[in-house]
Chains A and B, each alone.
Chain A
Amino acid sequence: MLLINCPHCGPRAQVEFTYERTVDSVVQPAAPVGEAMERLFTRANPRGLDDEIWRHSFGCRAWLVMTRHRATHEITAIRAAGPDALP
């Protein structure tokens, strides 16, 4: 189980969190159709680091952006999602 350092609550067990989706799959409302389809229906899915959106569902309920390694599970960065959190 991961120990996730919530920016609001500090280190908490993974059971309190849920995974939502990767940052690269978030679609902006104004995105052209081709780009929206690409983002919705494909993933880089690297065997390495990727940026993911998680939620502290059973804690402060905040949305978080976490950079995590898909093979080692190491979390290299974590921050609260916000207006400037997404590309």
Chain B
Amino acid sequence: MTKYSAFGLLRGAFGGQRHWQPAWRDPEPKKSYDIIVIGGGGHGLATAFYLAKVHGLRNIAVLEKGWIGGGNTGRNTTLVRSNYRQKPLHDFFEFGLKMWEHLSDELNYNVMFSPRGALILGHSDSDMTRLAERGDAMRVSGIDAELLTRDQVAKLEPLLDMSRNARFPIVGGLTQRRGGTARHDAVAWGYASAADGLGVDIVQKCEVTGFIRDGEAVVGVETTRGRIAAGRVGICVAGHSGHVAGLAGLKLPIESQTLQALVTEGVKPMINGVIMSQSVHCYISQSDKGGIVMGGDPDNWPSYAQRGQPMVTGHAIAQAIALVPALSRLRMVRTWAGVTDMSFDGSPIIGETPVANLYLNGGWCYGGFKATPASGWTYAHTLATGKPHELNAPFALDRFRSGATIDENGVGPMPNHR
């Protein structure tokens, strides 16, 4: 595989740009692998890449039922941030954010990470108290956070409705300036291309339909392209974790729900960073192509269908227009829905399962995209060594049994109330 560079582009120009090769191979699955990762989304591909790069393993496959990056990697709102409240989440997501800053170089693929700032609006005194608490918690963990006055917010995003009688009056905000957005497809393609370069087999149109067992232990998978043996198998299919783990007879602390997003026609730059809110659940950013990308609440009832209800997007749009009235002039061009693994404490699950040789990476709720590098890094460590990395040790599956849950919202096992 050729390395991408400005010089290569220039040289290719002399040949009429006819030098381009596929960025990854399309191999037939082998009979056996050391490690199989189920799921060719960003997380699965990142896992395979770090297994090869950091742990020196070469006999690895990623099995994808459709095409890579065609699930939630292609259905999110591309936000990257680490503005959480609790230590295990700080450590994990901040490690990830630092990886984002160098990811394009590491992969030799432009993931277009753009740290344009992630702003949370405060609409009341109590909002500001909670934002100050969150900001303090972040700074104690060494993460950047800045509490903003009303005037500072107005300067940062001039199109916000700052009037005193706005539907959601804005009294201040909290920003993480290192947060931002990235190009979602490029993340999947960059990891795929880099992993393929290290010998990882990326097998598409290969759905896992069952697990091969030797006694209790998993020793391979049944797929639509035949049986494949494996030393260790890692589930990495967030959204469908319940279904795939169910094939191994496991019941998880996860309920699958739909999360929708939408994008408007492209316009000149009008939203500078990422706008979120402490009180209303909608988030707004502008893609590099110019479209305004928005999302809101999940649909709040279980579904594996990748489609949602218009009333939920309507709700998010109404909130977004109340915050930024100028959005009302734009035409919506597309809405879509992804299936999210709603875990029962709102935090992800990365680690072993009760079944020998079978590992789980899932439960990302509505926040998996930003975690892609850190998720791949820690899951690769877990799969290669059989033991969790210190960053994902708190996110073990058995925390629900032991009571050591990491519940940011304090809601308990009721994802539809989260």
Cross-chain contact of B251 among A21, A42, A71 (Cβ < 8 A): A42
Contact with A along B390-411 (1 / 0, CB 8 A): 0000000000110000000000
A1 to B311, CA, bound (A): 8
A19 and B246 in contact, given A1-B310, A41-B253, A71-B305 (Cβ under 8 angstroms): no
User: Does A70 contact B302, Cβ atoms closer than 8 Å?
Assistant: yes
Does A71 contact B310, Cβ atoms closer than 8 Å? no
B243 touches A19 (CB 8 A): no
Q: Give the one of A20, A22, A71 with max B CB within 10 A.
A: A71
Contact present for A41 and B401 (CB under 8 Å):
yes
B257 to chain A, nearest CB (A): 9
Tell me, in angstroms, the Cα distance from A20 to B302 when the chains sit together.
10
1/0 contact string of A61-85 vs chain B (CB within 8 Å): 0000000001111000000000000
Q: Contacts of A72 on B, CB cut-off 8 Å?
A: 305
List residues of B (275-308) whose CB comes within 8 Å of A's CBs: 300-305
Contacting pair B246 A14 (CB below 8 A): no
Q: Which of A15-48 contact B (CB under 8 A)?
A: 15, 18-22, 25, 37-38, 40-47
B254 x A45 contact (CB < 8 A) = yes
Kindly provide the distance from the CB of B241 to the nearest chain A CB, expressed in whole angstroms: 8
Interface size class of A (residues with CB under 8 A): 20 to 34
Which range holds the interface residue count of chain B? 20 to 34
Q: What is the CA–CA distance of A14 and B309 in the complex, to the nearest angstrom?
A: 10
CB-CB contacts below 8 Å: B308-323 with A: 309-311
Across-interface contacts of B310 in A (CB, < 8 A): 1
Chain B residues whose C-beta falls within 8 Å of the C-beta of A14 in the assembled complex = 309
Asked if A42 and B252 make an inter-chain contact with CB atoms under 8 angstroms apart, the answer reads: yes
In the complex, whether B10 has a CB less than 8 A from a CB of chain A is: no
Which B residues are CB-close (under 8 A) to A40?
Answer: 413
Contact, CB under 8 Å: B413 / A19:
no
CB of A15 within 8 A of CB of B302, answer no
Nearest CB in chain A to that of B302: its residue: A70
Alpha-carbon gap, A87 to B400, bound state (A): 24
B302 & A52 in contact (Cβ 8 Å cutoff): yes
Is there contact, CB below 8 Å, between A41 and B400?
yes
CB-based contact A70/B304 at 8 Å:
yes
How many angstroms between the C-alpha atoms of A20 and B414 in the bound complex?
9
B91 within 8 A of A: no
B242 CB–A CB distance under 8 Å? yes
When distances are taken between beta carbons in the complex, the residues of chain A under 8 Å from B253 are 41-43
240-263 of chain B: CB within 8 A of chain A? 240, 242-243, 246, 251-256
- Are A70 and B256 in touch, CB under 8 angstroms? yes
CB pair A19 B416 closer than 8 Å: yes
Residue of B at shortest CB range from A24?
B251
The answer to whether A47 touches B240 (Cβ under 8 A) is yes
Q: A1-B310, A19-B416, A37-B401 are in contact. Are A43 and B255 (CB under 8 A)?
A: yes
Give A50 Cβ to nearest chain B Cβ, in Å: 7
Chain B residues 365 to 418 lying within 8 A of chain A, measured CB to CB, are 400-401, 413-414, 416
Residue B359 CB within 8 A of the other chain: no
Give A residues with C-beta under 8 Å from B: 1, 14-15, 18-22, 25, 37-38, 40-47, 50, 52, 70-73
Sorted from nearest, which 7 A-B pairs have the closest CB atoms?
A45-B242, A19-B301, A42-B251, A47-B243, A41-B400, A47-B304, A71-B304
